[in-house]
Amino acid sequence: MKKSLLAVLALVFIMGTGNLWADSSRDYISIVGSSTVYPFATVVAEKFGKSTQYKTPKIESTGSGGGHKLFGAGVGVQYPDITNSSRRIKKSEFEKATKNGIEIVEVKIGYDGIVVANSKEADVFKLTRKDLYLALAAQVPNPDGTETLVDNPYTTWKEVNASLPAIKIEVLGPPPTSGTRDAFVELAMEGGAKEFGFIKAMKKTDKNKYKSVCHTVREDGAYIEAGENDNLIVQKLDANPDALGIFGFSFLDQNTDKIQGSFVDGVQPTFEAIADGSYPVSRPLFFYVKKAHVDKIPGMKGYLKEFTSEKAWGDEGYLTDKGLIPMPTAERKQFQDAVVNLKPMTASDF
Amino acid sequence: MNNKDTSKRTMDIVQKGLAKRYKREKRFKLYGLSAIIFSLMCLSFLFISIFSNGYTAFQQTFIELEVFIDPALIDKGNFAGSNYQGIIKASLRNAFPDVTERRAKKRLYHLVSSGAAYQLQAVVRDNFEKIGQSVTLWVPADDDVDMLMKGHIDRNVPEADRRLKDDQVAWIESLSEQGRIEKQFNTTFFTAGDSREPELAGIWGAACGSFYTLLVTLALSFPIGVAAAVYLEEFAPTNRWTDLIEVNINNLAAVPSIVFGLLGLAVFLNFAGLPRSAPLVGGFVLTLMTLPTIIIAGRASLKSVPPSIREAALGVGASKTQMVTHHVLPLAMPGMLTGTIIGMAQALGETAPLLMIGMVAFIVDIPGGFTDPSTVLPVQIFLWADSPERAFLERTSAAIMVLLLFLISMNAVAVILRKKFERRW
């Protein structure tokens, strides 16, 4: 009994000191957010920690949405200083943060391509965004040419497009919780769906219907949700030459001996094609800084400087080795200035 | 039963069915046996695949470099900020003087890890007198070179499809002819924290995090669990309330662990204001998770102490507390310890509840206390499995091997304790 009483007392005591802790300062940077930006932010954090007297920043991979939620909760050491995001901050997230008294500085760091790839043992696929939409959407325009939607009838690639091989449609991709999936449906599938006039017209008349037509992936087994682990998809592609996989460019970059990127709209996903914008399925990556924390948390300025330095995000920087596609020089300059001046976002930015 | 059968003797009926019954028995045994063989096969497949993927991670490729510590590149006022990378690059250029083209030089620099600069930094920091002299260093090779040396990169695929180009392979071959590239035991793997460079990544940070977390878990869950078990078994009256508590404890043991994580987020982080990613909070959450296991195991071992011992103690005039602390508890302790160790092993392998309280994070610095940000072994495995670099694949398997080793040894201790101190009546 004495023991349990002691334990309870200890618990209460620890909780008390914990409250004190929250009021005192934190001596390391706390970063949350996207799992796509995570591999880049961690490299910068590590270099920063090893080459300065500051502690290495702590980076949690919470996903873009989870990151904004934690980041926007308030100002103070118990809240993160920076959130990484594989999409732009949403207006609702911005408003919530503003309500909590947060001034946000937006920093774009570069681009990421989403690739459709298959095993080297098979022929390379030459796809269009329309092909991807027809092959993967839950509802597609009726193949007889009338302007109606039917449940996806296609089972082989040849049915989708006569120039493609007659193999079963089998695509391994990320689950709905993933930012990669969001970007893929938005850029590739919606891009393909828009080529049908009546679907495009739907955007004006019934926006919700339009979104669900463009963004709903079929669930009859042709699209296989392979989890958030892109390594697993690469391994499965290696074992099954008939399958295609969807993942971030950095995984293609690391496995060029096993897999090849499919052409999308006539462009193959190479470093150069994504950088100059000719590859259609690419998205910008961001991080957002809490302005009030820059002077409070030791090392914040140094970390921001390291991330936005040419040796990190430049054309030949170490982040490109990890698969980040750099921004054009002018854009890099613009965001370097943003970090120096710490100009907060305003509602008019949306 | 119909009339015909009654005319026969019972023995006949029995014998008629005998062959069938033997067969059925044989079949039944076979089912059991095949179930065991199946699970053994799965287990051995798991072990073989992990081992065959992971054993190479215990070695790391190192390159011997003749490094001239150029005083011009060392900033005496700012040792940490000096250009060590530049010194390493210069020594690579010295080793291969015929490489002059810019892109080729860049490829040459890629042969050694960025960790070489930190290694040099440490050398200079500890030996100021070496500035201006030449030193011979074995520096870690880049992960791509390491993969080539271990045969994970095929030299025969076309150059464009390889991460190492032909000239890089040629340099590596010339180094290996001179005996200046070799695989050594990978001490970094056991002494370093996490890193985004596979050749610099280690599990020590995660192991320390696991240690602190489990220490908090043990310090809280063992006394609370034992006290709860003793009270419920020895002191509590049997009524509706104790029944309710018992049912609830059994239910708690079956609650998915992520729920405890959510509870921890709400209570310890949001309400009590404890720091995110701290082993302290991780320990609290895992305490909640392991408590039911310990209480149930503790009650079972208290139950197995025969009542005659309690009666004898009370009979010679011991108080109830004396009876429990002098007689019942010592006899039940081995069973309680076994339950605790199994609970701890369970806590060691847990990731889901830690996700909610921020322990799934990239942490390079080795945690030095209960409130330092840290991660734990299974989380480290999860993070590495998700990394694009191929060299992390073998490190993932190696980390799994280390975790399994811990789990097996903890379970072995539990078995030994049970065998050694168990008393049968």
**Percent of chain B having pLDDT more than 90?**
54
pLDDT at B41: 97
What one-character DSSP code corresponds to residue A27?
S
CATH classification of the domain holding B250: 1.10.3720.10
Name the more confident of B187 and B77: B187
Do B180 and B223 sit in the same domain of this protein?
no
How many domains is chain B built from? Answer: 3
pLDDT at B33: 97
Please report which confidence band the pLDDT of residue B203 belongs to, taking 50, 70 and 90 as the band edges.
Answer: very high
pLDDT at B12: 85
Do B218 and B249 sit in the same domain of this protein?
yes
- Report pLDDT digits (tens) over A309-349: 988 898 888 888 888 889 988 889 999 998 899 888 888 88
In the sheet that B134-140 helps form, which strands lie side by side, from edge to edge? B134-140, B59-68, B181-185
What's the rounded Cα separation, in Å, for the pair B311 and B252? Answer: 33
- Report pLDDT digits (tens) over B339-373: 999 999 999 999 999 988 989 899 999 999 898 99
ipTM score assigned to the predicted complex: 0.78
Helix (H) or strand (E) holding A206: none
What one-character DSSP code corresponds to residue B367?
P
How large is the angle between the packed helices B204-230 and A2-23, nearest 10 degrees?
A: 140
Q: What is the DSSP string of B282-305?
A: HHHHHHHHHHHHHHHHHHHHHHTS
Do B255 and B169 sit in the same domain of this protein?
no
pTM: 0.82
- Calculate mean pLDDT across residues A47-58: 89
The pLDDT mean for chain B works out to 89
CA distance B283 to chain A (A): 11
- Calculate mean pLDDT across residues A214-231: 85
Q: Does the residue B197 lie in any domain?
A: no
Q: Does the residue B27 lie in any domain?
A: yes
Chain A residue with the nearest C-alpha to that of B361: A60
Other Cβ atoms closer than 10 A to B345: 20
pLDDT at A4: 58
- Calculate mean pLDDT across residues B251-256: 90
CA distance B419 to chain A (A): 27
Do B44 and B130 sit in the same domain of this protein?
no
pLDDT at A19: 47
Q: Does the residue B383 lie in any domain?
A: yes
Do B339 and B408 sit in the same domain of this protein?
yes
Chain B residue with the nearest C-alpha to that of A227: B386
- Report pLDDT digits (tens) over B129-155: 888 888 898 999 999 899 989 888 888
Q: Does the residue B32 lie in any domain?
A: yes
Q: Which of A6, A23, A51, A58 to mutate to test the interface with B (most CBs of B within 10 A)?
A: A58
Contacts of B226 in chain A (CB under 8 A): 3
Burial of B235 (0-12, 13-18, 19+ CB in 10 A): exposed
Do B217 and B334 sit in the same domain of this protein?
yes
User: Are the Cβ atoms of A231 and B386 closer than 8 angstroms?
Assistant: yes
Give the C-alpha distances (Å, rounded to integers) separating A175 from A133, A181, B53.
Answer: 17, 7, 27
What's the rounded Cα separation, in Å, for the pair A220 and A136? Answer: 10
> Which one, of A90, A147, A87, A133, lies nearest residue A282 by Cα?
A87
Q: A43-57, B373-387, B409-423: lowest mean pLDDT where? A: B409-423
pLDDT at A11: 55
State the sign of the Cα–Cα–Cα–Cα dihedral B101, B107, B111, B115: positive
pLDDT at B60: 92
Give chain A's radius of gyration (CA, Å): 23
CB B411 within 8 A of CB B393: no
Do B320 and B176 sit in the same domain of this protein?
no
Residue where a domain terminates, one of B156, B191, B226:
B191
What's the rounded Cα separation, in Å, for the pair A72 and A266? Answer: 41
The pLDDT mean for chain A works out to 86
Residue where a domain terminates, one of B129, B164, B191:
B191
Instruction: Using the predicted structure, report yes or no on whether residue A13 has a pLDDT greater than 60.
Output: no
- Report pLDDT digits (tens) over B59-86: 999 999 888 888 887 777 666 667 788 8
Instruction: Using the predicted structure, report yes or no on whether residue B309 has a pLDDT greater than 90.
Output: yes
Do B66 and B154 sit in the same domain of this protein?
yes
CA distance A188 to chain B (A): 23
What's the rounded Cα separation, in Å, for the pair A54 and A299? Answer: 6
What's the rounded Cα separation, in Å, for the pair A312 and A319? Answer: 5
pLDDT at A16: 47
Do B40 and B182 sit in the same domain of this protein?
no
Q: A25-29, B256-260, B336-340, B391-395: lowest mean pLDDT where? A: A25-29
Please report which confidence band the pLDDT of residue B158 belongs to, taking 50, 70 and 90 as the band edges.
Answer: confident
> Which one, of A238, A276, A277, lies nearest residue A254 by Cα?
A238
Q: A55-59, A105-109, A242-246, B414-418: lowest mean pLDDT where? A: B414-418
Do B409 and B304 sit in the same domain of this protein?
yes
Q: Does the residue B66 lie in any domain?
A: yes
CA distance A350 to chain B (A): 31
What one-character DSSP code corresponds to residue B161?
G
pLDDT at A56: 92
Do B84 and B45 sit in the same domain of this protein?
no
Q: What is the DSSP string of A278-328?
A: -SSSEEEEEEEEEGGGTTTSTTHHHHHHHHTSHHHHSTTSHHHHTTPBPPP
User: Are the Cβ atoms of A52 and B393 closer than 8 angstroms?
Assistant: no
**Percent of chain A having pLDDT more than 70?**
93
What's the rounded Cα separation, in Å, for the pair B363 and A57? Answer: 7
pLDDT at B3: 53
Please report which confidence band the pLDDT of residue B306 belongs to, taking 50, 70 and 90 as the band edges.
Answer: very high
State the sign of the Cα–Cα–Cα–Cα dihedral B285, B287, B293, B296: negative
User: Best-predicted range by mean pLDDT among B13-17, B217-221, B251-255, B384-388?
Assistant: B217-221
Q: How far apart are the first and last CA of chain B?
A: 47
User: Are the Cβ atoms of B106 and A3 closer than 8 angstroms?
Assistant: no
Give the domain extent around B184. 59-191
pLDDT at B262: 92
Instruction: Using the predicted structure, report yes or no on whether residue B212 has a pLDDT greater than 90.
Output: yes
Q: Does the residue B102 lie in any domain?
A: yes
Strands B134-140 and A30-33: unpaired
Instruction: Using the predicted structure, report yes or no on whether residue B17 has a pLDDT greater than 50.
Output: yes
pLDDT at A18: 46
Q: Does the residue B258 lie in any domain?
A: yes
pLDDT at A20: 45
Q: Does the residue B199 lie in any domain?
A: no
- Report pLDDT digits (tens) over B119-135: 888 888 888 888 888 88
User: Are the Cβ atoms of B364 and A45 closer than 8 angstroms?
Assistant: yes
Do B159 and B275 sit in the same domain of this protein?
no
pLDDT at B118: 86
User: Are the Cβ atoms of B363 and A323 closer than 8 angstroms?
Assistant: no
- Calculate mean pLDDT across residues B169-184: 90
CB A89 within 8 A of CB A288: yes
Q: A110-114, B80-84, B310-314: lowest mean pLDDT where? A: B80-84
